A and B are shown apart, each in its own frame.
Chain A
Amino acid sequence: MKLRALLVVLAAGCATPAGEAEYRARAEAAVKSAFAGGDPVILARVLKQDDAQRLCSEHRDSPPAAIAGSMMAAQRAAIAYPASGRLMGDWRQGKRIAEDTGGMRFGDKPGPPNGGNCYACHQLARAEIVHGTLGPSLLGYGKAHGAGEAAQREAYERIYSPQAFTACSAMPRFGHNGVLTPDQVAHLVALLLDPASEVNR
């Protein structure tokens, strides 16, 4: 293994920046051929990375501070809010969205509404033990943060565009990428903040 690692390091060390760019171009060509003939809507999005995706890929999700700062600012400027102006919806609808695992995979019924599949990564309710740990536990989130205007705004923005807070966060930009509508995000805010929600009971 050590020898292998050394070989790779040597090869990487000898490579000029042009070599790096060449490998990137070849990786992009490999993506194109890997998914040829696949679902065209999904394919188009996978082929074309936006700036955040491209920079996160290049920096392996740890961009230097200066780049991270401008990435977060760009994400913040792109946050859109519900037309109604209400950032907190109905926690019961939020629960359904959190539990819905589907949407935007190949073979799924195209078009909204999509699910958030929040339990894949987060603990949200004591009763639901089948939850992932890629994201932090959100049990009692509303108890800790309250349900005031500032808490609503922060929860909304964190779900809409987590990369406005942490550049290259592992969490999908649910609102920014159009996975969830602003109203759906507001329902998830209610799930997190409403004292009656199972998150806070």
Chain B
Amino acid sequence: MVLLLFIALPAAADGSSDGLVRKYREALKDASPGELYVLMGEELFHAKRGPKKASLERCDFGLGPGVLKGAYAQLPRYFADTDKVEDVESRLASCMTALQGYSAAQLPRHGYGDARMGDFLRLAVYVAWQSNGMKLAPPLGHPKELDAYRIGELLFYRRAGSHDFSCATCHAASGKRVRLQRLTNLADPKDAQHGFPTWPAYRPVAGDVHTMQLWIGACMYQIRHPQLVFASEASIALQVYMAQQAAGGVIAVPGVKR
């Protein structure tokens, strides 16, 4: 399995990478390095950690304290205890603060490129993995969830910066590529249902598992935006919008991306 981490994607002779990525996924099907993250996440989840020497076993992901099965399929969602809409990582951060006593300074400042993300990636995959095979069905009934959706939609189409880019520049048309990277059309539910619920995903190019929040941060880097603040309102709102677009898609994590 360790060897697999170092397999590079061969160059596509026909200029299309889809077939190769599909083959690569099949080769990794039963032994994806991403599966290791599930195991590491499980260990972290049950370990007594932080100033309060407590585990995350009482963390409520929306279906009750300690209920993990199906919880990820309904994220992001509103949480009354924090009075915020939270995704899987920001919920983990809330539980690490409340249950384990971590301070804000011990949590990641940014998703992308922040070494403190390591635990979150593992924990997030572990939580998400327990919704595998279920349909994504994030709630939209709370006013703050609806607010997040509308703000996220505006942000998706907001062009800014030196290169005039928005999310929609790359993710609002079907069958397009940047270099050899196939782009998910998030404006089209059919494509969104395929692309979104396979995050968190293992990325051979990075040799790491990335969550959606971290991946949005990577997009911000490419579209010439600044470092995205971890668990910021915008990072959650964008995910609420994307999750609604992708609702009904079947969760299959950790996915394998390029």
Number of interface residues of B (CB under 8 A): 56
A27–B159 touching, CB < 8 Å = no
> Nearest chain-A residue to B135 (Cβ)?
A1
User: Which range contains the number of A residues in contact with the other chain?
Assistant: 35 or more
Residue numbers in B under 8 Å from A130 (CB-CB): 11-12, 15, 179-180
> A3: shortest Cβ distance to chain B, in Å?
9
> Nearest chain-B residue to A5 (Cβ)?
B244
> Nearest chain-A residue to B187 (Cβ)?
A60
B157–A57 touching, CB < 8 Å = yes
> Nearest chain-A residue to B193 (Cβ)?
A1
Residue numbers in B under 8 Å from A43 (CB-CB): 226
> Nearest chain-A residue to B170 (Cβ)?
A134
Which A143-201 residues have a C-beta within 8 angstroms of B? 163, 168, 170-173, 177-179
Residue numbers in A under 8 Å from B106 (CB-CB): none
Scoring B160, B161, B226, B235 by chain A CB atoms within 10 A of each residue's CB, the highest score goes to: B226
Residue numbers in B under 8 Å from A179 (CB-CB): 162-163
> B137: shortest Cβ distance to chain A, in Å?
9
B161–A45 touching, CB < 8 Å = yes
User: Per-residue 0/1 for A30-48: is the Cβ within 8 Å of any B Cβ (1 yes, 0 no)?
Assistant: 1101111111001101110
> Nearest chain-B residue to A10 (Cβ)?
B146
Which A45-62 residues have a C-beta within 8 angstroms of B? 45-47, 49, 52-53, 56-57, 60-61
- The chain A residues found within 8 Å of chain B, CB to CB, are 1, 4, 7-8, 11-12, 23-24, 26-27, 29-31, 33-39, 42-43, 45-47, 49, 52-53, 56-57, 60-61, 104-107, 119-121, 129-134, 163, 168, 170-173, 177-179
